[in-house]
Structure 1
Amino acid sequence: MALDGLKTEIYSFPRRASSFTPVAKGSIYCPDVESDITLNVDGVSFSLHKFPLMKKSLRIRRLVGEELNEGNFTMSSPAVIEFTNFPGGPETFELLIKFCYGINFEMTTLNVANLRCAAEFLEMIDEHGEENIITHTETFLSEIVFRSLDKTVEVLHSCEHVLSMAEEVKLVNRCIDVIASKIYHEQQKLSNRLQAEGNHSIPWNYNSTHLRELQSAILPTPNWNQDEDSTPVPHTINRRVKVDWWAEKLSLLRIDLYQRVFTAMKASGVRAESLAGSLMKYAESSLKHLHGQGNQGASVMMSAPFTTAIRLKTKHHLDINFGHNHKTIQQHEQRNVLETIISLLPTENNLFPISFLLSLLRDAIALDTTVACQLDLERRIGLQLERVTANDLLIPTLPSDTDDAMYDVDLVQRVLVNYLQQDENFKNEHNFSLNSDSDENGISLNYQKGIRKVTEVIVQYLAEIAADANLRAAKFAAIAEKLPSHFRAMDDGLYRAIDIFLKAHPYLTDVEKRKVCKLLDCQKLSREACFHAAQNERLPVEMLVKVLYCEQMRIRNALVEDESPHQEGSYNYGGYSLNKISNTGSPRMDTLSRLRQKNKFLKEEVAKLQLRVAELEKENTELKLGEMKTIVASGNSVRFFSSVSRRLGRMNPFSSKHKDAAKQRDHCLPPPRQRRHSVS
């Protein structure tokens, strides 16, 4: 199958025209002369003549000679030779027959690899025949194929069906070297041209060939991280030109061939940004079916290596029913592709969009890749966590257990730990203070901005997962504990997440509630959040007391600020602040009147809060009494009352006197009489 947009090159042999005309396979190839040899190629029979075949193929001559020596056939009976797993199949063998009979045929980029491998298999070399087929294929490769990048990719793609023989004739290595070299030199050519011209815009009258040369070297990703040796590519080029034409061609290769091409490009000096763009394009094409976009990408990948996948399976897998195991084989191939893509990711940071890394991580979890692959992706995501949103982190868990949480919370916790560890190393490396507002290079401000963004995203994430009834309090609290409190200006978002969690988990114990709520800083709650929390019955009593205390302190501070003098030229007389030089006192008196009303209102609020605290303390006392009654009812009354008496004794300042009096009464009482009991 030809690649899109390519013109198939035709190579005609300069041979004489022949009266021989091919007919259907399985019958006599030339009707004028009786055939004297039959060749069975992968189940297809060809009735031919020994002389034209033996003249071009050393292998066929040797096989015919062996048959004659063994006496398996006479000159009157035709010889029969069988070929299994013939390179290129019966179609390629028929083209070689045409060559042997002197019939012209078309050599294209689609069949040249098969012809080269089949000719090697039949030993059709120049020493055995002048201008043999191997010479013609090598001429076609050097003069037509290797001069074009896309034609070389097409030939490499066709080598997938005859890979072992193509490796033997060094065709695969030659194609890979040509691809890597051409991509590198085209990048260098564009960089040198832009540096020489000094022009950062592309004229609209450029022809398609010039644009194609520009496309081969431009970064296929939106951001360009410049190195010292690289020449900047203008942003206008990025906007106007499609930048990944060669990456799209490489995406048709099988994963093992693409891996070798990628390694060769990296060794040749192709920019990391271009490598990243090519890898993204290949992942998009080969894993397209995993994202619900159809099976077109899967068909390209699975058509050729399907039987190879069966051989790669272990004996245990081969014992499984073939029809039932088809899905398992396909998942094995997908897993192999994904693990290879992850292993090829460049080590440079911030090359890939965060959405691409998250997509790979979701696929890695779905396909159950190795732990090393998943941890590598988590580390890369953690390096740029400030770019994610809360929805990006909602990665569902595998449906292995109905009691599991809806989303993979452990994964997000590991990513957050990676980010915080990276920031800790960054802070120690640059040795800056978190309290500084700015520094010379703006490093501290950028650091604080990034970690505040991450904190906001994690708080939003907690609010999203809080409604999951299967989410455990320990996991919820574990993520919230990782958030640095000094970077949270307000805790309203965290309070909202905790409130949603408590509402979705009404059967939490008091210990679990306190563990979740202790993460809140009541002093960072807004007035509206405090008002809501003071009336929230889902919060534990200790938390309500803290909220009311913080609100009471806030009101008291507001009263002190309102009663303190604010103007420089005023003095206090009789509890009122008056202006020294003002002759008109009405505006000042209006201000004092408003302050009195505000103070009165604040005092009423304080009284309400104190009443609420008293009610909560009363409820707490009733709860403790209820627990005591439960203990008494369970048969532990003696132990309970003794413990209560001991506690009351410690609280009573006159406990020592009561103890002495009790001892004296015990000494005064006569000892109890021991009576005999009889059973009548």
Structure 2
Amino acid sequence: MKRGQHCAQCPLISKCDYIGRLEIQPFISNSSNALKLENFPGGSETFETVLKFCYDLPVDFSPDNIAALRCASEFLEMIEELEDGNLISKTEAFLTFVVLSSWKDTITVLKSCENLSSWAENLQIVRRCCDSIAWKASKDDRTSEDAAPNQESWWFNDVATFRIDHFIRIISAIRAKGTRAEIIGKCIIEYAKKWLSGMDVEIEGLRGYGHEKYNLQFSIFSGKKKESSGHNKEQKTIIETLISIIPPQPYAVSYKFMLQLLKMAMMYYVSPALATELEKRVSMVLEDAEEKR
């Protein structure tokens, strides 16, 4: 924690098994001693809320703080054996019966999990949020199968706000529920537009639109390899991940999108295996177009 908390020992011990096992000396108000909790989920602000709970002061649960409080209660081992209605059970109930029934609240909680490292993962908060989002999104897809083919689903924008590791978890869960390939593909395109710089730039170098095959000529190999940086590594990771999760169906994403993604894959020197796979898909589309001419 970033700052110490001066507090009476007994209320913490009565509700926090972790504190009770520390065998710490009672805190004195004018003492410089402080309870140090390394890597405490949610930091000082969350600990202050836990203190309020321990002192039976009113605590407001919300989608913004519930994931951190659930992780903090697990850290402090605030179990039912110490007191009925302890913080673990209360936060679990709020997550299960309030948050996961609401699309907006689930999105908010999953976003907050990005700052809770492994705690939110180990407590299955991330998995449960992803499953809830996937269920609601796939239900919408099933009920709108007769909608116009180019109509975008309402949930694309919200799902596209997550960092790439959570996005792939959501897409995997949505796919497992039988959502159509073209819907998943459109969501991937939406994500790429939001997170990849230059995805909206027109592709140049498309030649030979006639009886001859297309001849793709990219002018991106001139110049030096991009210097390694945090931004470039993030872009490379996103590109590699998106390539790996594109549905295998040929109609899942547009030809233009695959060309744009291939160009960026070359710019950021992605895994050769993934780049080759994307090149094969582009070639198959070209060959199919030639056969239909």
Residues 259 and 292 (structure 1 numbering): CA distance in 2 closer, same or farther, change over 3 Å? closer
Say if 2:19 is the partner of 1:60.
yes
Compute the displacement of 1:291 (Å): 4.7
Relative distance call for 1:76 and 1:146 in structure 2 (3 A) is: closer
Structure 2 vs 1, CA of residues 76 and 257 (structure 1 numbering), >3 Å: closer, same or farther? Answer: closer
1:151/1:48 Cα in 2 relative to 1: closer, same or farther (>3 Å)? Answer: same
Residue 174, structure 1, aligned to residue 133, structure 2: no
Deviation at 1:245, TM superposition (A): 2.3
Q: Secondary structure at the match of 1:44?
A: coil
- Residues 245, 381 of structure 1: alpha-carbon distance in 2 compared, 3 angstrom cutoff: same
Q: Is residue 116 from structure 1 mapped to residue 74 from structure 2 by the alignment?
A: no
Structure 2 distance, partners of 1:121, 1:47, is 19
Q: Secondary structure at the match of 1:134?
A: helix
Aligned pairs (5 A) from 1:136-535: 136-188=90-142, 190=143, 217=144, 231=145, 233-235=146-148, 243-287=152-196, 289-291=197-199, 328-385=229-286, 419=287, 447=291, 450=293
Q: CA deviation at 1:350?
A: 2.4
- CA pair 275-167 structure 1, distance change in 2 beyond 3 A: same
Q: Report the Cα distance in structure 1 between the residues aligned to 2:114 and 2:32, rounded to whole angstroms.
A: 35
**For each residue in 1:445-500, what CA deviation from the matched residue of structure 2 results, as whole angstroms up to 9, or x when unmatched?**
x93x52xxxxxxxxxxxxxxxxxxxxxxxxxxxxxxxxxxxxxxxxxxxxxxxxxx
Percent identity reads: 34
- Provide the aligned C-alpha RMSD in A: 2.7
Relative contact order, CA 8 A, sep 6+: which one is greater?
2
In structure 2, what residue type is equivalent to 1:281?
A: E
What are structure 1's unaligned runs of at least 5 residues?
1-40, 191-216, 218-230, 294-325, 386-418, 424-445, 451-680
Q: Distance between the aligned counterparts of 2:253 and 2:140, measured in 1? A: 23
Distance 2:74 2:267 in 1: 44
**Structure of larger gyration radius:** 1
Gaps of 5+ in 2: 202-226
**Given that residues 117 and 165 in structure 1 are in contact (C-alpha distance below 8 angstroms), is that contact kept between their aligned partners in structure 2?**
yes
Residue aligning to 1:88: 42
Deviation at 1:75, TM superposition (A): 12
**For 1:291 and 1:182, how far apart are their aligned partners in 2?**
28
Task: Give the counterpart of 2:61 among 107, 123, 128.
Answer: 107
Q: Secondary structure at the match of 1:346?
A: coil
Displacement of 1:371: 1.6
Deviation sequence 1:283-325 (CA, Å, 0-9, x none): 11111x34589xxxxxxxxxxxxxxxxxxxxxxxxxxxxxxxx
Instruction: Verify: 1:44 aligned to 2:19, yes or no.
Output: no
Partners in 1 of 2:199 and 2:252 — Cα distance? Answer: 22
SS of the residue corresponding to residue 47 of structure 1 reads coil
SS across alignment from 1:351: coil
C-alpha distance 339-76 of structure 1, shift in aligned 2 (>3 A): closer
Q: Point out the structure with the larger helix share.
A: 1
Q: Does structure 2 conserve the Cα–Cα contact (< 8 Å) formed by 1:350 and 1:384? A: no
Under a length normalisation based on structure 2, what TM-score does the superposition of the two structures give?
A: 0.82
CA contact (8 A) 1:92 1:114 kept: yes
Could you tell me which residue of structure 2 aligns to residue 490 of structure 1?
Answer: none
User: Contact (CA 8 Å) 2:66, 2:109: kept in 1 or not?
Assistant: yes
Aligned with 2:4: secondary structure?
strand
1:383 deviates by: 2.6
Map of 1:28 onto structure 2: none
Q: 1:272 to 1:75 in 2, by over 3 A?
A: closer
Aligned partners of 1:73 and 1:79 also within 8 Å: yes
Match of 1:525 in 2: none
Name the amino acid aligned to 1:131. G
Shift of 1:234: 3.9
Q: CA deviation at 1:261?
A: 1.6
CA distance in structure 2 between the aligned counterparts of 1:78 and 1:59, rounded to whole angstroms: 22
CA distance in 2, matches of 1:234, 1:51: 61
Task: Work out whether residues 160 and 194 of structure 2, in 8 Å CA contact, stay in contact via their aligned partners in 1.
Answer: yes
> Do 1:125 and 1:133's aligned partners in 2 also have CA atoms closer than 8 Å?
yes
Partner of 2:217: none
Contact 1:176 1:264 in 2 (8 A): yes
Deviations along 1:218-263, one digit per CA (max 9) or x if unpaired, are xxxxxxxxxxxxx5x143xx67xx6332121111112112112211
Match of 2:206 in 1: none
Post-superposition offset of 1:59:
0.9
CA distance in 1, matches of 2:30, 2:159: 54
Contact 1:150–1:246, Cα closer than 8 Å, also in 2: no
Q: List per-residue Cα deviations over 1:505-540 (Å, max 9, x = no partner).
A: xxxxxxxxxxxxxxxxxxxxxxxxxxxxxxxxxxxx
> Corresponding residue for 1:662?
none
Q: Which residue of 2 aligns with 1:538?
A: none
Evaluate the alpha carbon distance shift between residue 377 and residue 102 of structure 1 in structure 2; reply closer, same or farther with a 3 A threshold: same
Counterpart-to-counterpart distance in 2, 1:127 and 1:54: 13
Alpha carbons 1:184, 1:265 under 8 Å: kept: yes
Do 2:152 and 2:186's aligned partners in 1 also have CA atoms closer than 8 Å?
Answer: no
